[in-house]
């Protein structure tokens, strides 16, 4: 590891990033000595960045910010200067210990196709379909923007349409002194030589794509074309969900903006109220790190019930998600938690499928569904919990939500800090 780290430290990628070079050298030293697994954010702030003894990581996010930037720089290094390196240095999310892995050899056998893990290659007509999908996504985004502008021009009727339940649920997000960002998940696509595009459902980080055997196998089929990450695609259901949210919230929150999951900085997340819509894999690190004791966790094929009550399963499993038709039944998680520093509010709508995520948003934008949800959340004292999680079941046909129903909810307790850095 020492040789590989030294090569990165001397690279052009980190030439003008003194803080990141210092952080990488520090983490390498601690990883080689076996101390990295016990590192704390406070310790790194003091030792690597010269913070004073009274430094409070909850108020100063320099460590989290620089760790995130270092991961980005490592990914950039391995797709440019280090693309021929045989050993890859990685900094897994949620940890401070560097890992070194040998790049899979080019002669590795092509793995047999296994559904649904086989990446979806888009040559020929699939390439055209993918291009059409991009065009539709862009067109839909433009259409939604125009529609949202039109709705703003007639905001008085929309304001009058706010029900007491919608007002109560969204009250923390429409405060004047804290802007709101709607963040839409944008999954990783891999460009192979320009026109060919690859999407592996198991790969959501560029550093994972670099060492993925299945991605490597497809590259060899295409005679090893250069790879580049692409984040141009967002599912139409996510854009529809963002439109519903923007249409509702913009009448009471003038400081609202739209962002993608790949273009959010930690400073933006800490300085704004946030609403996330997307696959759990795209927001996993942030949601797990929020200072709240989560009771339900969205996973790829369902929702994990961490503390089942009598008669409840420990896992709510999705059904027929990858069946022969686009019909299925999925569980959707709606969460309201405090911001990363315990300041502000974060709402998230997560599911293993896009129709599920759209149906989750409908529960907090449709007056009738919001009324049902508010009734379920209301405690004996007549108040809704400050933070909560709601589990909803959605049945969809031809990828369109047809029926949704409330399953259960949990009140959440705020903690001093999140569970992961």
- Asked whether residue 224 carries a pLDDT value surpassing 70, the answer given is yes
* Minimum mean pLDDT range among 92-96, 105-109, 208-212, 278-282: 105-109
pLDDT of 263 reads 75
The rounded percent of the chain whose pLDDT value lies above 70 is 82
Please give the DSSP secondary-structure letter assigned to residue 176.
T
Is 80 exceeded by the pLDDT of residue 6? yes
What confidence category does residue 389 fall into, taking pLDDT thresholds of 50, 70 and 90? Answer: very high
Distance (Å, whole) CA 198 – CA 339? 34
> What pLDDT was estimated at residue 392?
95
Please state, as a whole number, how many other Cβ atoms lie within 10 Å of the Cβ of residue 299: 18
Residue-wise pLDDT tens digits, 27-78: 989 888 888 888 888 898 888 888 888 878 776 777 877 887 888 788 888 8
Distance CA 383, CA 142 (A): 39
Per-domain residue ranges of the chain: 2-102, 130-186+234-411, 193-228
Q: In the predicted model, what is the mean pLDDT of the chain?
A: 80
Looking at residue 216, what is its pLDDT? 86
Is the CB of residue 392 less than 8 Å from the CB of residue 405? Answer: yes
Could you give the percent of the chain with pLDDT greater than 90? 25
Q: Is the pTM of this model over 0.85?
A: no
pLDDT at residue number 135: 47
The predicted model gives 304-331 an average pLDDT of 84
Collapsing DSSP states into helix, strand and coil, what is residue 392? Answer: strand
- Asked whether residue 124 carries a pLDDT value surpassing 70, the answer given is no
CA distances (Å), origin 307, targets 171, 291, 293, 314, 339? 29, 18, 11, 7, 23
- Round to whole Å and give the CA distance between 146 and 281: 30
Alpha-carbon distance of 148 to 204, in angstroms, equals 30
Contact 403, 395 (CB under 8 A): yes
> Which helix H or strand E contains 66, and what residues bound it?
helix 62-79
The torsion defined by the Cα of 51, 53, 54 and 55, in degrees rounded to 10, comes to: 30
Q: Note the pLDDT of residue 122.
A: 45
Beta-carbon contacts of 415 under 8 Å, excluding residues fewer than 6 positions away, are 291, 292, 293
Spatial distance between the Cα atoms of 184 and 279, rounded to a whole number of angstroms: 9
Nearest-angstrom CA–CA distance, 62 and 60:
6
The yes-or-no verdict on residue 377 having pLDDT over 60 is yes
């Amino acid at each position: 590891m020492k040789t590989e780290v030294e090569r990165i430290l001397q690279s052009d990628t980190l030439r003008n990033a003194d803080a990141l070079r210092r952080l990488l050298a520090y983490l390498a030293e601690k990883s080689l000595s076996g101390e990295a697994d016990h590192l704390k954010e406070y310790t790194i702030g003091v030792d690597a960045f010269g913070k004073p003894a009274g430094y409070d990581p909850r108020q100063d996010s320099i460590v989290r910010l620089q760790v995130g930037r270092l991961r980005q720089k490592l990914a950039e290094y391995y797709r440019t200067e280090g693309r021929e390196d045989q050993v890859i240095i990685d900094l897994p999310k949620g940890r401070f210990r560097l890992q070194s892995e040998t790049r899979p050899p080019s002669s590795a056998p092509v793995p047999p196709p296994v559904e649904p893990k086989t990446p979806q290659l888009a040559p020929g007509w699939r390439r055209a379909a993918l291009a059409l999908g991009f065009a539709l996504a862009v067109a839909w985004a433009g259409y939604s923007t125009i529609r949202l502008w039109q709705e703003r021009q007639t905001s008085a009727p929309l304001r009058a349409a706010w029900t007491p339940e919608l007002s109560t649920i969204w009250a923390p997000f429409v405060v004047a002194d804290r802007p709101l960002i709607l963040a839409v998940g944008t999954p990783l696509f891999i460009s192979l030589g320009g026109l060919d595009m690859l999407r592996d459902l198991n790969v959501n980080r560029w550093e994972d794509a670099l060492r993925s055997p299945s991605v490597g196998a497809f590259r060899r089929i295409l005679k090893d074309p250069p790879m580049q990450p692409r984040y141009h695609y967002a599912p139409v259901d996510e854009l529809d969900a963002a439109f519903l949210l923007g249409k509702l919230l913009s009448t009471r929150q003038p400081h609202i903006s739209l962002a993608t999951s790949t273009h959010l900085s930690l400073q933006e997340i800490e300085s704004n109220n946030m609403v996330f819509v997307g696959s759990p894999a795209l927001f996993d690190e942030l949601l797990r790190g929020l200072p709240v004791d989560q009771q339900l966790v969205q996973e790829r094929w369902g929702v994990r019930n961490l503390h089942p009550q009598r008669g409840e399963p420990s896992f709510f499993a999705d059904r027929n998600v990858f069946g022969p038709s686009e019909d299925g039944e999925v569980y959707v998680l709606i969460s309201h938690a405090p911001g990363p520093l315990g300041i502000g509010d974060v709402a998230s709508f997560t599911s293993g499928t896009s129709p599920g995520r759209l149906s989750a948003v409908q529960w907090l934008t449709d007056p009738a569904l919001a009324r049902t949800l508010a009734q379920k959340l209301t405690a004996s004292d007549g108040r809704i919990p400050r933070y909560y999680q709601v589990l909803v079941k959605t049945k969809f046909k031809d990828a369109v939500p047809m029926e949704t129903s409330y399953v259960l909810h949990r009140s959440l307790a705020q903690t001093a800090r999140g569970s992961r850095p």
